[in-house]
Copies of this chain bind each other. A is one copy, B any other.
Amino acid sequence: MSKQKFVYMFEEGTEGQKELLGGKGANLAGMTALGLPVPPGFIVATTACVKYYDEGKKFDAGIEKEVFECVAKLEKKMGKKFGDAADPLLVAVRSGSRASMPGMMDTILNLGLNDITVEGLAKKTNNPRFAYDCYRRFIQMFSSVVMDQDKHACERVLDEVKAKRGVKEDTELTVEDLKEIIDRFKADYKKDHPEGFPQDPKEQLIKSIEAVFRSWDNPRANTYRFMHNIPYNWGTAVNVQSMVFGNKGETSGTGVAFSRNPSTGENKLYGEYLMNSQGEDVVAGIRTPHNISELEKENKKIYDEFAAIAKRLEKHYKDMQDMEFTIEEGKLYMLQTRNGKRTATAALRVAVELVKEGLIDEKRAVCMIDPKQLDALLHPQFDKKALKEAKEVSKGLAASPGAAFGRICFTPEGAHEAAKKGEKVILVRVETTPEDIEGMVAAQGILTARGGMTSHAAVVARGMGRCCVAGCGQLIIDEKAKTCIINGKKYSEKDSISLDGSTGCIYDGCLKTEAAQLTGDFGTIMAWADKYRALKVRTNADTPKDTQRAVELGAEGIGLTRTEHMFFESDRIGPMRQMIVAKTEEARRAALEKLLPMQRKDFIGIFTALEHRPATIRFLDPPLHEFVPHDDAGVKSLAKDMGISYEELKTTIEGLHEFNPMMGHRGCRLAVSYPEIAEVQTRAIIEAAIEVKKSKGFDVIPEIMIPLIGEVKEFKYIKDIVVRIADEIIAKSDVKIKYLVGTMIEIPRACLTADEVAKEAEFFSFGTNDLTQMTFGFSRDDAGTFLDEYYQKKIFESDPFARIGQIGGGKLMEITVELGRKARPDIKLGICGEHGGDPSSVEFCHKIGLNYVSCSPFRVPIARLAAAQAALKD
């Protein structure tokens, strides 16, 4: 076995080796191979970083040896030597992980300088000021970035010297000033590190590489990784590149540019540059850089050369490029290129235009767009100008995207009343419960003090496409006084706020919003996506309005209608509660009879909006206690409405209490206890289908879905009721209606016995929220208290409720698909629930061979695109 190699010269790598060399390293290797003017260098591979952590943060001696072998090669190539007093080799050290990752280590430039080589550089360049400025910068970067010294300490020294000299700009400092600054930097350094600033360039280099490795585990990097699902075990590579100087005078400079406009997608170089500067000057904003177009006027030759390289790279990588370059004494060097980050609008335009230009085909275009980005295009946004001037009061979780403003309302009733008068309101609650639904529907946006991304408020708001900011820790509500304090500022129901559900920001007052702009490019990409995907995309919708919206966004049917949401509406909740607290089957039937026409009407609306598309309707699912009031006033009022005593009702309601409601009397268990619920729901569905067929001619095929099945006999018991009632109604009617009876798959036992269940069930729909809970053994509502520790301790790297844990719930899904198809080859398999709109979960669903995914209306385009990408990856 040949020895494992950890360090690669640029010319030894290839652009395909992102896993090994990191993104930046692979592209440097790629540009080198293309013969572009890249300053030579080498890459310490990601595997070295992994080894560093595996060995308890110790730098492996073998890797150190490899590093210095590459340094030797670099010396030979450059004709300079590390630490050479006359003509020292200087290098830049940069981090570079597999995925682009802000939050990791900054760049260190001019490494190799010390008290002796700085003089060599001064002589060699005949520019002492340049040399000492480089050394000053190097010490400053090394101290703060590598040694974690206080960043501002150096800045203070600089400011003090400038003040003493009476100058304003760094560039006005003399060599002597710089020497003084260097001495003071070194003295400060020695205070914390008695061994003094390292003079050995080799020590400087190893320390810097280690610092890059360490930065992989800093809190910012961890947060970024968590947000973007980047595995901790990837590690980062380190790029060591010989220095070129943009600060060698007015024929030198440095810049950053995109091959197209990253905001709009326009096919025109876009970027900034600054002559006589090093990279950090541009970043720090000390001097204002110029637009790249100026360079054409200032130095056409360099501009043309760069523009040509940009085109060439774009053609080579078949994507818009984001490049860094340096001009050293009139010569152009490329320091980096990568596929450029862009807005959703730009992403669509670039993809469509690249196809038009013949650079890529439709399939590649479809794969170029991050499905999650589409979200931004599907909701109203704040006017950009208004946003700039806005006052951000606080921030919560970006729970459901979109922008909204309105007067504060603390109660759902208040919100409802105001909305009736045409007022725009924001519903502000500690947390929401199913009883708040009416208020949530009425409000423009919802703000809560408690609850995470999967809290009731967040889930329901996303379902409705309503903007929501959840879990704002700085929000304290006094519901009684109808006031709240947000980040110290008091608000009453007279005040207005604005919410940005895409960022979580809360603003004072009313900010102007603009409607979503779905340009032609969006339609083009969606059409291409639809051409290539295998998965159907349905929607979760509980109302005709949501259904209509989802169909407009491309939904091919309904994957989940939650019938319970219908029962929270004000005209329903009364009979619903009477049904729940009924003591006899007769009383329950009487209440259900009142609900029947309302529910039938809902279904007529939904079937009409769907036209011929299929609709999966789930039977009543939540524990009944969710529907009844728990506070004394509510109980008293209900008792009065029902004409029974407070005590009797109180006892009944207390009897509904459960220790673990998530694992209690809910789902199909309700229909097993009270078959009349299943009867009435069947009646409403089938009668609605008949009515719609008669009046509109639409051939609706309702798919009746029994939730929470764990045992085939449980399913069979309810299916028998459905079939009996449905066939009775159809036989009496003069039209023919087909219907299916199937089940949610959300209980592990249903997965393990899917062959049994499939003998009876005509379709399965994965309810991955519950399945995740049961598989992990923790409840969504309670996990918040301990999952943070799990993330911090890297036990989990992503939220299992946001992505299908492919080893946990995912494995059960695979078992289910296999067993289910074995028993019933033509079984229809789908997924509903939050995961249906998550691109990585959509990919998983494609891989295991589901027929469709279902998600909230606004996520339909995301799912369509993700489904196409999954199919094209195959």
**Chain A: residues with CB nearer than 8 A to chain B?**
658-665, 669, 672-673, 708, 710-711, 713-714, 717, 746-749, 752-753, 756, 770, 773-779, 781-783, 785-786, 789-790, 793-796, 805, 807-808, 811-812
Question: In the complex, are the beta carbons of B713 and A777 less than 8 A apart?
Answer: no
Question: In the complex, are the beta carbons of B746 and A664 less than 8 A apart?
Answer: no
- When chains A and B are docked, how far (Å) is the Cα of A654 from the Cα of B92? 55
Can you list 5 residue pairs at the A/B interface with Cβ under 8 Å? A660-B663, A660-B782, A664-B778, A672-B786, A710-B778
Interchain nearest-CB distance for A568 vs B (Å): 19
Q: Which of B669, B673, B749 contacts A807 (CB 8 A)?
A: B749
Question: In the complex, are the beta carbons of B662 and A795 less than 8 A apart?
Answer: no
- When chains A and B are docked, how far (Å) is the Cα of A749 from the Cα of B778? 11
Copies of the chain in the assembly: 2
Question: In the complex, are the beta carbons of B752 and A794 less than 8 A apart?
Answer: no
Known: A749-B777, A776-B749. A786 touches B669 (CB 8 A): yes
Q: Which of B710, B717, B790, B808 contacts A793 (CB 8 A)?
A: B717
Interchain nearest-CB distance for A431 vs B (Å): 11
In the A-B complex, the 6 residue pairs with the smallest Cβ-Cβ separation, listed nearest first, are A660-B779, A663-B779, A747-B777, A664-B782, A749-B808, A659-B781
Interchain nearest-CB distance for A554 vs B (Å): 34
Question: In the complex, are the beta carbons of A782 and B663 less than 8 A apart?
Answer: yes
Question: In the complex, are the beta carbons of A665 and B785 less than 8 A apart?
Answer: yes
Question: In the complex, are the beta carbons of B785 and A664 less than 8 A apart?
Answer: yes
Known: A672-B786, A807-B749, A811-B752. A776 touches B710 (CB 8 A): yes
- When chains A and B are docked, how far (Å) is the Cα of A749 from the Cα of B770? 13
Interchain nearest-CB distance for A746 vs B (Å): 7
Given contacts A711-B795, A752-B808, 16 further A-B contacts (CB under 8 A): A659-B781, A660-B660, A660-B781, A660-B782, A664-B783, A665-B782, A672-B789, A673-B789, A710-B776, A713-B794, A714-B790, A746-B777, A747-B777, A749-B807, A753-B807, A774-B777
A708 — nearest CB in chain B belongs to which residue? B777
In the complex, what residues of B have CB within 8 A of residue A793's CB?
672, 717
Most B C-beta atoms less than 10 A away, residue of A669, A747, A753, A770? A669
Question: In the complex, are the beta carbons of B659 and A662 less than 8 A apart?
Answer: yes
Q: Which of B658, B708, B710, B753 contacts A782 (CB 8 A)?
A: B658
- When chains A and B are docked, how far (Å) is the Cα of A795 from the Cα of B706? 15
- When chains A and B are docked, how far (Å) is the Cα of A773 from the Cα of B713? 18
Question: In the complex, are the beta carbons of A777 and B807 less than 8 A apart?
Answer: no
- When chains A and B are docked, how far (Å) is the Cα of A796 from the Cα of B658? 21
In the complex, what residues of B have CB within 8 A of residue A776's CB?
710, 747, 749
Q: Which of B662, B669, B789, B795 contacts A713 (CB 8 A)?
A: B795
- When chains A and B are docked, how far (Å) is the Cα of A774 from the Cα of B661? 13
Interchain nearest-CB distance for A583 vs B (Å): 15
A657 — nearest CB in chain B belongs to which residue? B782
In the complex, what residues of B have CB within 8 A of residue A794's CB?
713
Known: A672-B793, A774-B777. A782 touches B659 (CB 8 A): yes
In the complex, what residues of B have CB within 8 A of residue A777's CB?
663, 708, 710, 746-749, 770, 774
- When chains A and B are docked, how far (Å) is the Cα of A203 from the Cα of B468? 74
Question: In the complex, are the beta carbons of A775 and B748 less than 8 A apart?
Answer: yes
Interchain nearest-CB distance for A57 vs B (Å): 15
Interchain nearest-CB distance for A488 vs B (Å): 22
Q: Which of B663, B673, B783, B796 contacts A778 (CB 8 A)?
A: B663
In the complex, what residues of B have CB within 8 A of residue A663's CB?
660, 662-663, 773, 777-779, 782
Question: In the complex, are the beta carbons of B805 and A749 less than 8 A apart?
Answer: yes
A808 — nearest CB in chain B belongs to which residue? B749
A660 — nearest CB in chain B belongs to which residue? B779
Interchain nearest-CB distance for A437 vs B (Å): 19
Q: Which of B713, B748, B786 contacts A748 (CB 8 A)?
A: B748
Question: In the complex, are the beta carbons of B748 and A812 less than 8 A apart?
Answer: yes
Question: In the complex, are the beta carbons of B748 and A795 less than 8 A apart?
Answer: no
- When chains A and B are docked, how far (Å) is the Cα of A661 from the Cα of B669? 21
Q: Which of B672, B713, B714, B808 contacts A710 (CB 8 A)?
A: B808
- When chains A and B are docked, how far (Å) is the Cα of A717 from the Cα of B781? 24
In the complex, what residues of B have CB within 8 A of residue A811's CB?
752-753
Question: In the complex, are the beta carbons of B711 and A796 less than 8 A apart?
Answer: yes
A805 — nearest CB in chain B belongs to which residue? B749
In the complex, what residues of B have CB within 8 A of residue A786's CB?
665, 669, 672-673
Interchain nearest-CB distance for A521 vs B (Å): 42
In the complex, what residues of B have CB within 8 A of residue A658's CB?
779, 781-782, 785
In the complex, what residues of B have CB within 8 A of residue A770's CB?
777
- When chains A and B are docked, how far (Å) is the Cα of A790 from the Cα of B717? 10
A623 — nearest CB in chain B belongs to which residue? B782
Question: In the complex, are the beta carbons of A661 and B664 less than 8 A apart?
Answer: no
Interchain nearest-CB distance for A146 vs B (Å): 29
A747 — nearest CB in chain B belongs to which residue? B777
Interchain nearest-CB distance for A442 vs B (Å): 27
Interchain nearest-CB distance for A318 vs B (Å): 38
A746 — nearest CB in chain B belongs to which residue? B777
Interchain nearest-CB distance for A40 vs B (Å): 41
In the complex, what residues of B have CB within 8 A of residue A748's CB?
748, 774-775, 777, 808, 812
Question: In the complex, are the beta carbons of B662 and A661 less than 8 A apart?
Answer: no
A788 — nearest CB in chain B belongs to which residue? B673
- When chains A and B are docked, how far (Å) is the Cα of A778 from the Cα of B710? 10
Most B C-beta atoms less than 10 A away, residue of A773, A783, A808? A808
In the complex, what residues of B have CB within 8 A of residue A753's CB?
807-808, 811
- When chains A and B are docked, how far (Å) is the Cα of A777 from the Cα of B669? 11
- When chains A and B are docked, how far (Å) is the Cα of A710 from the Cα of B776? 6
A662 — nearest CB in chain B belongs to which residue? B660
Most B C-beta atoms less than 10 A away, residue of A673, A714, A794, A795? A795
In the complex, what residues of B have CB within 8 A of residue A747's CB?
775-777
- When chains A and B are docked, how far (Å) is the Cα of A665 from the Cα of B786? 7
Interchain nearest-CB distance for A736 vs B (Å): 26
A752 — nearest CB in chain B belongs to which residue? B811
A773 — nearest CB in chain B belongs to which residue? B663
- When chains A and B are docked, how far (Å) is the Cα of A783 from the Cα of B672? 13
Question: In the complex, are the beta carbons of B775 and A749 less than 8 A apart?
Answer: yes
In the complex, what residues of B have CB within 8 A of residue A774's CB?
748, 774-775, 777
- When chains A and B are docked, how far (Å) is the Cα of A668 from the Cα of B544? 46
- When chains A and B are docked, how far (Å) is the Cα of A659 from the Cα of B812? 26
Question: In the complex, are the beta carbons of A795 and B665 less than 8 A apart?
Answer: no
- When chains A and B are docked, how far (Å) is the Cα of A209 from the Cα of B659? 48
- When chains A and B are docked, how far (Å) is the Cα of A746 from the Cα of B660? 17
In the complex, what residues of B have CB within 8 A of residue A717's CB?
793, 795
- When chains A and B are docked, how far (Å) is the Cα of A662 from the Cα of B662? 10
A781 — nearest CB in chain B belongs to which residue? B659
Known: A659-B661, A663-B773. A672 touches B779 (CB 8 A): no
- When chains A and B are docked, how far (Å) is the Cα of A796 from the Cα of B664? 16
In the complex, what residues of B have CB within 8 A of residue A775's CB?
710, 747-749, 752, 774
A750 — nearest CB in chain B belongs to which residue? B777
Interchain nearest-CB distance for A724 vs B (Å): 13
In the complex, what residues of B have CB within 8 A of residue A785's CB?
658, 664-665
- When chains A and B are docked, how far (Å) is the Cα of A708 from the Cα of B790? 14
In the complex, what residues of B have CB within 8 A of residue A795's CB?
672, 711, 713-714, 717
Interchain nearest-CB distance for A580 vs B (Å): 14
In the complex, what residues of B have CB within 8 A of residue A661's CB?
659-660, 782
Interchain nearest-CB distance for A794 vs B (Å): 7
In the complex, what residues of B have CB within 8 A of residue A711's CB?
795-796
Q: Which of B746, B752, B779 contacts A812 (CB 8 A)?
A: B752
In the complex, what residues of B have CB within 8 A of residue A781's CB?
658-660
In the complex, what residues of B have CB within 8 A of residue A812's CB?
748, 752
Q: Which of B669, B779, B807 contacts A659 (CB 8 A)?
A: B779
Interchain nearest-CB distance for A772 vs B (Å): 9
A796 — nearest CB in chain B belongs to which residue? B711
